[in-house]
């Protein structure tokens, strides 16, 4: 049996339009309520031999709230956004519209002084490729939606621009199976999707 890595998207701590680059805010009350609502459904993933999370407060809190006791992995950190760190996309656009346009159009661009989209995808893919290769090993990783998008682009060997076309909802799960350099996307069935009231 191949290695199986299941990504769990961290619960949201803000509305989508208020999300900030490299957001370090903890889960809010609505985020905790979402975790509690899906905890029973996602608890079986705690049986994975290896349990990881992104270093963000909301990823760590989501993993703990789901009973995973995950180990923080720096390779699963969000894209380094340089001087745009802490800004919303709208705020960055208001300050540097041409730079944001360049960043969105060119996956190698780093107008913010941080990490390019290509470098981000490669870093997350490197983390994925260095997981243990024992047959049948199961891994669960709680991560920011952006990290999961990067992992999927890498696993599918898709063009970097595909990153912008992947929607990862909070507390959704996505699995890949395989080995370094040979990954397959796996769909296991319907999962209840939390909704914000």
Q: Is residue 62 part of a domain?
A: yes
Residue holding tokens 């705020």? 91
Are 125 and 163 within 8 A, CB to CB?
no
pLDDT computed for residue 107 by the predictor:
96
DSSP three-state, residue 95: helix
Domain that holds residue 82: 3-186
pTM, full prediction:
0.90
Note the pLDDT tens digit of each residue in 45-68: 999 999 999 999 999 999 999 999
| Rounded CA separation 8/91 (Å) | 28
DSSP character for 96? Answer: -
Q: Is residue 113 part of a domain?
A: yes
Q: Per the structure, how many domains does the chain have?
A: 1
CATH code of 126's domain: 3.40.50.1240
pLDDT computed for residue 197 by the predictor:
40
Q: Is residue 18 part of a domain?
A: yes
Are 121 and 141 within 8 A, CB to CB?
no
Q: What parts of the chain have a pLDDT lower than 70?
A: 1, 14-17, 135, 189-197
């Amino acid at each position: 049996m191949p290695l199986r890595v299941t990504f769990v998207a961290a619960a949201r701590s803000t509305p989508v339009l208020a999300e900030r680059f490299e957001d370090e805010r903890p889960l809010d009350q609505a985020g905790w309520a979402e975790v509690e609502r899906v905890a029973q459904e996602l608890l079986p993933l705690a049986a994975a031999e290896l349990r990881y999370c992104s270093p963000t407060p909301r990823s760590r809190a989501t993993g703990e709230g789901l009973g995973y006791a995950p180990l923080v992995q720096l390779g699963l950190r969000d894209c380094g956004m340089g001087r745009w760190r802490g800004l919303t996309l709208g705020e960055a656009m208001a300050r540097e519209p041409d730079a944001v346009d360049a960043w969105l159009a060119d996956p190698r661009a780093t107008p913010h002084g941080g990490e390019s989209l290509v470098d981000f995808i490669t870093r997350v893919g490197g983390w994925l490729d260095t997981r243990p290769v024992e047959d049948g090993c199961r891994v669960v990783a709680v991560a920011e939606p952006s990290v999961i998008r990067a992992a999927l682009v890498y696993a599918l060997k898709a063009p970097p621009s595909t990153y912008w076309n992947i929607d990862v909802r909070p507390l959704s799960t996505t699995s890949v199976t395989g080995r370094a350099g040979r990954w397959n996307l796996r769909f296991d069935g319907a999962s209840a999707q939390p909704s914000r009231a």
